[in-house]
Amino acid sequence: MGMDERKYRILQAIIDDYILTAEPVGSRTISRKYDMGLSSATIRNEMSDLEELGYLDQPHVSAGRIPSAKAYRLYVDQLLESGRIQAADEPSVRAYFEGRARQMEDVIDHAAQVISNMTDYLAVVLPPSGRQPRVRTIQLVPVGPGSALVVVVTDSGIIRDTVIPYPGQLDNDSLYDISRRLTDEIAGHSLQEAGTIISGMIGRIHENESFLSSLGTFFQDRTDPKARRHVAVGGTSKMLTYPEYADRDRIRSLLSLVETRDRLASIIAQNGNVQFTVRIGPENGIPEMADSSIVTAVYSTRAGEQGTIGVIGPTRMRYSRVLSVLTAMGQQLSELFGAGDVLETPEAAEKTHEKE
Amino acid sequence: MGMDERKYRILQAIIDDYILTAEPVGSRTISRKYDMGLSSATIRNEMSDLEELGYLDQPHVSAGRIPSAKAYRLYVDQLLESGRIQAADEPSVRAYFEGRARQMEDVIDHAAQVISNMTDYLAVVLPPSGRQPRVRTIQLVPVGPGSALVVVVTDSGIIRDTVIPYPGQLDNDSLYDISRRLTDEIAGHSLQEAGTIISGMIGRIHENESFLSSLGTFFQDRTDPKARRHVAVGGTSKMLTYPEYADRDRIRSLLSLVETRDRLASIIAQNGNVQFTVRIGPENGIPEMADSSIVTAVYSTRAGEQGTIGVIGPTRMRYSRVLSVLTAMGQQLSELFGAGDVLETPEAAEKTHEKE
DNA sequence: TGTTAGCACTCGACGATGATGAGTGCTAAC
DNA sequence: GTTAGCACTCATCATCGTCGAGTGCTAACA
């Protein structure tokens, strides 16, 4: 007994129906709604086979069948192989970004909103990271007595800033001078290297030792992989519409996952270099998420950094829809972060220029 | 029939018990658990009176009584008048901030966490705002070809940054020069005034007109009251433990409120100059929050800006606890934003200095 | 006059019971 | 190989009676 064409069509119909209704689907439903040209009895036989093959589960004897994780896996694999994933929604994704979003964090927040609006699932967007960005400029800006704002511009265009103390006797001009000298030293190096270089300067330059040491630790902090990153989330409340999250404990664990951004980020973060990751139910390895699926995709920046966008939803997810939305959004974000300046959409830049 | 001492004590007991159990409380419970030296029959008579006075509601004939919004109001008013609100938790609040938090947003996020941990309700923290901060310095930092990062330091220490385009022919030094000249012009003025001044310069200085105009709109954007501010939220998942939020629609409306930060901010934002605001049930005027209470408190920065911290929970809230936590946190935040530099805790600054 | 014991009454919560119907597996006929 | 038919299973739902918490009222008591 193998998996022939007809079995697959029936399985597909069952999956489609279950994704739609979230209710166990019976043989009668299939033969009626998805006119297969087969009677319910025949379907029943096939379903029995499919169950034996591990593609269907039966909650109890007198209920219909439910697709197993294995069935979804087959379904998704076929989907991915067939190349039927089209960024069909690209125009509408693009429309969402028309003349909007300036700062990186705004873009990311907005992207999460858009994804969740288009899919009706929980959307997560991680900022670009991974590759060690290289320093382009460092600039110190006086903030108050005894403290300066450090602005580091990297080749990925991302600005990291923190206030550090500095000896009060420095005025604006000397700060600028210092900034220039520092830039000369560390430009082109990674943040980590920059930290080492600056720490190394402490011996050589005897003035402002404490200041240099603060600056050194600043770079070290920024290199820390545990450093909190902004994680954008959208559509949490959408999850409440799905019956699989009717259980309070389940909502609870989902909510607290969303609340602890670190954990959420580590779950969504992609490891490999693949375009998509689809983890169905138990595959995701998170006990309390055994009947949730996680789909992620990658986007990249001009500087070669990678970011991840992801969707979390019930196992009976509209995978096809999700994959196509993620594709479109991945393209859009890559474009946004790759084409023009990282911190500005092409549109926004254009709009500003029109005023000339 | 007035409200005598004994009635009040009974009412208090009922409120206490209901806050604890969330179940209608009967006359028997009161006479036993809160030994009043009265039989249940007497309590019953008093409860009957209290109901007539509007302080108690009865879900149905054979159930106990539930405190009405009017009862909570009385309770809270007494609490506030009695001056029994003590920042009793101040030490533990302080402990939470030991050697932590550098950036303003981190402080705010952390504060929301702490409040929700200490109260077990949903906590919201709004960043300082209100007063028009005055410009101290403006500095332009080159980010990439044709774009510069604008860093404005105000007397409230808040850094607002955006990337704007600038004509490519400017190099670092001329940017610095421009920054200096701009600072000379706008230092001491509000953001709005700064915008006007810069726009006014367009006529006078003919070089870089487009750049100045971008900069002008930058200031206008920053003055926009609708400008999105970072709103910190903590403890959303805690709300699921309360039976009053068992209903899915109720969680849903709560969740979507939390998701739309703008609306959340406008609900929490304080108008007057009072230290506390307690809005009980229907008092808050938000239909879907008719059985939630909102308690807010104010903190302030050295620069005279005001921020708001707030708690959202069921009407049967532990008001006393919440008020005392908010008091402690308000003090802590005021201290944090008032004493040392706004962007740094005294601890953090101290810690860094130790390295000298 | 205020307090309390006693009692009848109300009504939601809960569990048992039975009807309903969706769906299955199996068998036999086509 | 397909399908009609049928017995069987079992979750769902409404009904019904029991249970008990809690009340209001009355009458007795200090």
**Amino acid, single-letter form, for residue A345:** T
Residue A172 pLDDT: 73
Q: Which CATH entry fits the domain spanning A135-223: 3.30.390.60, 3.40.228.10, 3.40.50.300, 3.40.50.10680?
A: 3.30.390.60
Q: Which CATH entry fits the domain spanning B90-131+229-351: 3.40.50.2300, 3.40.50.2000, 3.60.15.10, 3.30.450.40?
A: 3.30.450.40
CB contact (8 A) between residue A139 and residue B139: yes
CB contact (8 A) between residue A163 and residue B341: yes
- List CB-based contacts (under 7 A) with strand D: A 37-39, 41-42, 45, 59-63; B 24-29, 40-41, 44, 47-48, 51, 58, 61-65
What mean pLDDT comes out for the span B262-285?
88
Residue A317 pLDDT: 97
Contacts of A217 in chain B (CB under 8 A): 352, 355
DSSP-assigned letter for residue A133: P
Tell which wins on pLDDT, A82 or A272: A82
Residues B312, B122: Cα–Cα separation, whole Å = 5
Residue A101 pLDDT: 40
What mean pLDDT comes out for the span A237-253?
91
Minimum Cα–Cα distance from B122: chain A residue: A259
Length of chain B: 356
Q: Name the nearest CA neighbour of A167 among B102, B99, B352.
A: B352
- For domain A90-131+229-350, give the CATH number: 3.30.450.40
**DSSP per-residue codes, B261-313:** HHHHHHHH---SS-SEEEE-GGGG--GGGTTEEEEEEEEE-TTS-EEEEEEEE
Q: Using a cut of 0.75, tell me whether the model's pTM lies above it.
A: yes
Q: Is the pLDDT of residue A341 over 70?
A: no
Tell if B246 CB is < 7 Å from nucleic strand C: no
Strands A276-279, B306-314: pairing is unpaired
Minimum CA–C1' distance nucleotide for B31? C4
**DSSP per-residue codes, A35-102:** --S--HHHHHHHHHHHHHTTSEE-SSTTS-BEE-HHHHHHHHHHHHHHT----TTHHHHHHHHTT---
Residues of chain B above pLDDT 90, percent: 46
Contacts of A211 in chain B (CB under 8 A): none
Residues of chain A above pLDDT 70, percent: 82
Q: Is the pLDDT of residue A145 over 90?
A: no
Question: Which bases of chain C are under 7 A from a protein CB atom?
Answer: 3-6, 9-12, 21-27
**Candidate from A135-139, A150-154, B10-14, B98-102 with smallest mean pLDDT:** B98-102
CB contact (8 A) between residue A352 and residue B159: no
Q: Is the pLDDT of residue B34 over 70?
A: yes
What mean pLDDT comes out for the span A75-88?
86
Residue B3 pLDDT: 81
Helices A319-338, A90-97: axis angle to 10 degrees equals 50
The rounded radius of gyration (Å) of the Cα atoms in chain B is 26
Residue A23 to chain B, least CA–CA distance (Å): 20
What mean pLDDT comes out for the span B39-56?
95
Residue B356 to chain A, least CA–CA distance (Å): 5
Q: Which two tokens stand for residue A96?
A: 């969402």
CB-nearest partner of B210 from A163, A172, A356 = A356
Count CB atoms within 10 A of the CB of residue A143. Answer: 25
pLDDT band for position A131 (50/70/90)? Answer: low
Residue B144 pLDDT: 67
Q: Name the nearest CA neighbour of A119 among A262, A330, A278, A311.
A: A311
Question: Which bases of chain D are under 7 A from a protein CB atom?
Answer: 2-5, 8-11, 20-26
CB contact (8 A) between residue A141 and residue B144: no
Residues B108, A105: Cα–Cα separation, whole Å = 17
Tell if A48 CB is < 7 Å from nucleic strand C: yes
Contacts of A149 in chain B (CB under 8 A): 151, 153, 159
Please name the residue whose C-alpha is nearest to the C1' of nucleotide D20: B62
Tell which wins on pLDDT, A37 or A343: A37
Q: Is the pLDDT of residue A111 over 70?
A: yes
Minimum CA–C1' distance nucleotide for B62? D22
- Contact present, A59 and A300 (Cβ < 8 Å): no
Residue B352 pLDDT: 33
Tell if B37 CB is < 7 Å from nucleic strand C: yes
Burial of A195 (0-12, 13-18, 19+ CB in 10 A): buried
**Candidate from A211-225, A255-269, A275-289, A311-325 with smallest mean pLDDT:** A211-225
CATH class of A5-67: mainly alpha
Tell which wins on pLDDT, B207 or A253: A253
Contacts of B153 in chain A (CB under 8 A): 141-144, 149
Q: Which of A163, A184, A211, A342 to mutate to test the interface with B (most CBs of B within 10 A)?
A: A163
Q: Which two tokens stand for residue B128?
A: 């300082």
Q: Is the pLDDT of residue A322 over 80?
A: yes
CB contact (8 A) between residue B143 and residue A343: yes
- Contact present, A258 and A236 (Cβ < 8 Å): yes
Residue B339 pLDDT: 45
Structural domain boundaries in chain B: 5-67, 90-131+229-351, 135-223
pLDDT band for position B340 (50/70/90)? Answer: very low
CB-nearest partner of B147 from A141, A228, A344 = A344
Q: Is the pLDDT of residue B230 over 50?
A: yes
Q: Is the pLDDT of residue A168 over 70?
A: no
pLDDT band for position B306 (50/70/90)? Answer: confident
**DSSP per-residue codes, B135-198:** EEEEEEEEEETTEEEEEEEETT--EEEEEEE--TT--HHHHHHHHHHHHHHHTTSBHHHHHHHH
Q: How many helices (H) does chain B have, and how many strands (E)?
A: 13, 10
Q: Is the pLDDT of residue A12 over 50?
A: yes
State which H helix or E strand residue B210 sits in: helix B209-223
Please name the residue whose C-alpha is nearest to the C1' of nucleotide D23: B62
What are A190's strand-pairing partners?
A: A134
Buried b (16+ CB within 10 A) or exposed e, A255-291: bbbbbebeebbebbbbeeeebbbbbbbebbeeeebee
Q: What is the mean pLDDT of chain B?
A: 83
**Strands in A182-270 per DSSP E:** 232-234
Q: Name the nearest CA neighbour of B254 among B240, B266, B243.
A: B240
Tell if A113 CB is < 7 Å from nucleic strand C: no
CB contact (8 A) between residue B355 and residue A210: yes
Contacts of A355 in chain B (CB under 8 A): 210, 213-214, 217
